[in-house]
Structure 1
Amino acid sequence: MAALNYHHLRYFWVIATESNLTRAAERLHVSQSALSIQLRKLEESLGQALFERDGKRLVLTEAGRIALDYANAIFRTGDELFSLMHNRPVGAQQVLRIGAVATLSRNFQLQMLKPLLGQAQIELVLRSGSLRDLLAQMHTHTLDLVLSNRPVPRDAEINWHSHLLDEQPVSLIGKPSPDAEPFQFPEDLRWASLLLPSVESEIRAAFDFILEQAGIRPRVLAEVDDMAMLRLLCRESGNLALVPPVVVQDELESGMLVERCRIPGLKERFYAITPSRRFPNALVRELLLGSKKEEVTP
């Protein structure tokens, strides 16, 4: 069995860091041709291509991303040895990279990630953005998992998997009022002023459909694509907000806000999106086993 050449691995690590063979060669003070030979030897020993070309850039393949993770861990272990000898011990960690769409409840994310928090051997990398941007990052192997409030269709190029994690009711939330009458849905919405998720939201589309069927057009004060901001506006404005109660669970528990009306038949669903990979991150499987309800094919 061939032994790993750590000299080749160091060269690979520099190339991956620079994403460019010329710059890596200059940094290592070797010729570009010599560096290419060393990289090819490493790929041959591993039996996997580690890079693919994108114009003048070198982009890591899935195997390359795995190799880079191990290279980082190997060189970090070397740093740990040095630190240990100088009475500065540090611990090795596994890395889990998670993206979450900006519209997703922060409280739900916290509940999802709570089993991993406080584990010294796990490093979490959390990123937020649009679903399209996060899927693009996962396609290039810079994310292991994307949390979303809608499933992703499979296509011919990428076999996405949408794992249903949970579903929550959706309610109209507002400040408490001792004189408030019981809310009559949907009739009372004829006079209400609302804070709503943006039109891109699935719960907003379903809510609009319900009101259209009832012939009601409420006054919309704000459309917000960030649940954290919707939560703050609800707290500060005194107007009703359409949100899953999990978004404002702290305020509901403290009495700062109250649930005025639960919308019949309306739910928000939470998904973990993963790609098909030959080398899946073991932490993803561990996380899904504790949370997943089912896999969904849109």
Structure 2
Amino acid sequence: MNYHHLYYFWRVANTGNLTQVANEIHLSQSAISAQLKQFQENMGVALLTRKGRSLVLTPQGKQVLAYADEIFSKGEELENLINKGLPSQLSHISIGVLSNLSRNFVESFTLPLINDKFATFSLQTGSLDSLLEGLSSFRFDIILTNHNVELGQQNGIWHSELVSRQAIEIIGPSKPKRARKFPQSYADASWVLPSQNSEIRSAFSIACAKVQYAPKIKAETNDMAMLRLLARDSGAFSVMPSVVVRDEVANGLLHVQQSLPDAYEHFYAVTLAKKKVPPHVQNIIDNAKNRENFVTQPLSS
């Protein structure tokens, strides 16, 4: 591999603009274009394609870019070692997050990174399909989701680690004067609920079916941030892990009524099964699994 060619590809792939890169590294556009063409011929696959005035990555180009990012990041560490005589201790983790996942949960997961002066991280939300595609093309080191993607997979691409199991609780606007029982205490209650395709809603529906309770549904949403606002402002009851409304509970705006019987939401860290997980990525996974205030229920129960 010609690393000059890889470097030119890396610069162009990150900007999408050949003219800009040519001006920055003081080479002609034709020279860079010729070397990019040679690089792609050597690789035996198209890495860039033109879209209007910009160059965009092909799926194969995204995979090559992920490796190039890592290669030139290591190059910067080497330069730091040569110039300062000290190895860089910085580590970076790229995290994909399911778009409807609790923001408080994500913050709890990343808290060790926030407090580590040698760590940096990036967060990007998306659908499960887009996150898995990003993981397979090495744009993410890890993704966070409430789905166990190992279940039903045929080719063994993904590895899911359970990092937390949060009790699903009934949340209400007022502090209960006495111990509540489900469903007797909610005969005339209105509810704001997660959408039908969520693990939380399924658990609530199962609990209702067991006791033949028909909830009066005021609203439903697939967005946990929106559910948090609806629970706070509607005066209705809702169901979710209390971590979602941690601040509202602490400030007395919402109150935990009771835990929904035998109901939990599960949170997973997903990595590529056939790629060795870097130590700094595994450390954050292990840290999440071991934190007592993060795993609110023992996994063995």
TM-score under structure 1 length normalisation:
0.76
Which residue pairs with 1:150 in the alignment?
147
1:224: how far off?
1.8
Any conservation in 2 of the 1:97–1:142 contact (CA below 8 Å)? Answer: yes
Instruction: Output the amino acid matched with 1:257.
Output: L
1:10: how far off?
2.3
Name the SS of the counterpart of 1:60 in structure 2: helix
Gaps of 5+ in 2: 50-56, 291-301
Instruction: Output the amino acid matched with 2:46.
Output: R
1:272: how far off?
0.6
Tell me whether 1:69 sits opposite 2:70 in the alignment: yes
Describe the shift of the 1:31–1:224 C-alpha distance in structure 2 as closer, same or farther (beyond 3 A).
closer
Equivalences, count:
275
Any conservation in 2 of the 1:101–1:148 contact (CA below 8 Å)? Answer: yes
Tell me whether 1:232 sits opposite 2:229 in the alignment: yes
Describe the shift of the 1:34–1:238 C-alpha distance in structure 2 as closer, same or farther (beyond 3 A).
closer
Which residue pairs with 1:30 in the alignment?
31
1:270: how far off?
0.8
Which residue pairs with 1:168 in the alignment?
166
TM-score under structure 2 length normalisation:
0.76
Q: Distance in 1 between matches of 2:201 and 2:5?
A: 53
1:267: how far off?
0.8
Name the SS of the counterpart of 2:138 in structure 1: coil
Name the SS of the counterpart of 2:181 in structure 1: coil
Identity of aligned residues (%): 31
The alignment yields a C-alpha RMSD, in angstroms, of 3.6
Describe the shift of the 1:136–1:38 C-alpha distance in structure 2 as closer, same or farther (beyond 3 A).
closer
Q: Distance in 1 between matches of 2:130 and 2:252?
A: 37
Which residue pairs with 1:53 in the alignment?
46
Note the alpha carbon deviations across 1:47-81, whole angstroms, 9 max, x for none: xx6x8437945433656512323325536987999
Among candidates 86, 93, 96, match of residue 93 of structure 2: 96
Q: Distance in 2 between matches of 1:76 and 1:28?
A: 29
Q: Distance in 2 between matches of 1:63 and 1:283?
A: 22
Name the SS of the counterpart of 2:117 in structure 1: coil
Tell me whether 1:201 sits opposite 2:198 in the alignment: yes
Note the alpha carbon deviations across 1:112-135, whole angstroms, 9 max, x for none: 111111333322110112222211
Which residue pairs with 1:285 in the alignment?
282
Name the SS of the counterpart of 1:128 in structure 2: strand
Any conservation in 1 of the 2:207–2:260 contact (CA below 8 Å)? Answer: no
1:235-254 → structure 2 map (5 Å cutoff)? 235-254=232-251
Describe the shift of the 1:64–1:55 C-alpha distance in structure 2 as closer, same or farther (beyond 3 A).
closer
